[in-house]
Amino acid sequence: MNILVHRGITIVSLAAGDDIAGNCLPGQTAIRQQDDGWWLYFVDSDGSIDGYDAPFAAFDEALWAAKAAAEFSAE
């Protein structure tokens, strides 16, 4: 697990099989590797988890998208 803070949003990168709810707090973003790519998830203030409907091919692409989402949230 790696943690990065961008624009006040914590982005947590997880390995395949790591539990999002067990590793992320409300308001945080998770990037998790799965068999078909890197998935981006958002943990809402109530603890519910939502994510994009398709994976990214590379970690760097998922991280870029997570940073872009943080930029949008910071506005």
Is the confidence at residue 29, as pLDDT, over 90? yes
Domains of the chain, residue spans: 2-74
Strand partners, 30: 12, 41
Question: Are residues 6 and 70 in contact, defined by beta-carbon separation less than 8 angstroms?
Answer: yes
pLDDT band, very low/low/confident/very high, at 73 (cuts 50, 70, 90): confident
Strands (E), 18-75: 29-34, 37-43, 49-51
pLDDT classification of 7: cutoffs 50, 70, 90: confident
The verdict on pTM exceeding 0.75 is: yes
